[in-house]
């Protein structure tokens, strides 16, 4: 029967702990990349996903293409909205509200983009959509846009 020294046992334990740590780091990086599941094409959630993917990638005109015509007319075409890009956006749910659909999202800003530098800022937002002949479109100014108010006559 082989006898193992305490230093050999400690080395094996350190190696196992290091492998577990590496696996946890890889899992954290993959989960923080924002690459969640693809939503069903043509759904309100897919429109919200397209909006935030375009926003994160810096494609402002593609993000605005998910707006209703009326909302796009009230939101200025800008090249810089004046915010840092979110590092992660997760759709957390959706529900019907009359003829509209509301999609709930959780947005995370990381590191220097957070309110407290070096920390994560996570907050919830709601995106309201209506069904149009072109598919589901965002009908009220979504984060981070601030659009002119709708005129009610």
In tens, the pLDDT along 36-69 reads 566 788 899 999 999 999 988 888 889 999 999 9
A 10 A CB-CB count for 145 gives: 21
Domains of the chain with bracketed CATH: 44-138 (3.10.450.50)
Rg of the chain's alpha carbons, rounded to an integer?
22
pTM of the entire predicted model: 0.66
What is the distance between the alpha carbons of residues 90 and 55, in angstroms, rounded to a whole number?
14
Say what the pLDDT of residue 129 is: 97
What is the distance between the alpha carbons of residues 137 and 133, in angstroms, rounded to a whole number?
10
CB-based contacts of 29: which residues, under 8 Å, 6+ apart? Answer: none
What SS3 class is residue 83? Answer: coil
């Amino acid at each position: 029967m082989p006898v193992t020294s305490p230093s050999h046992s400690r080395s094996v334990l350190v190696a196992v702990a290091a492998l577990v740590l590496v696996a946890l780091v890889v899992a954290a990086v993959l989960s923080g990349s924002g690459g969640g599941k693809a939503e069903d094409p043509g759904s309100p959630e897919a429109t919200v996903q397209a909006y935030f993917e375009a926003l994160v990638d810096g494609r402002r005109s593609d993000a605005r293409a998910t707006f209703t015509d009326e909302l796009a007319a009230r939101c200025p075409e800008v090249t810089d909205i004046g915010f840092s890009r979110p590092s992660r956006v997760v759709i957390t749910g959706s529900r019907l509200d009359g003829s509209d659909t509301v999609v709930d999202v959780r947005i995370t800003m990381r590191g220097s983009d957070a309110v407290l530098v070096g920390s994560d800022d996570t907050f919830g937002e709601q995106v309201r959509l209506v069904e149009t002949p072109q598919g589901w479109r965002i009908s009220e100014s979504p984060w981070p846009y601030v659009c002119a108010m709708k005129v009610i006559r």
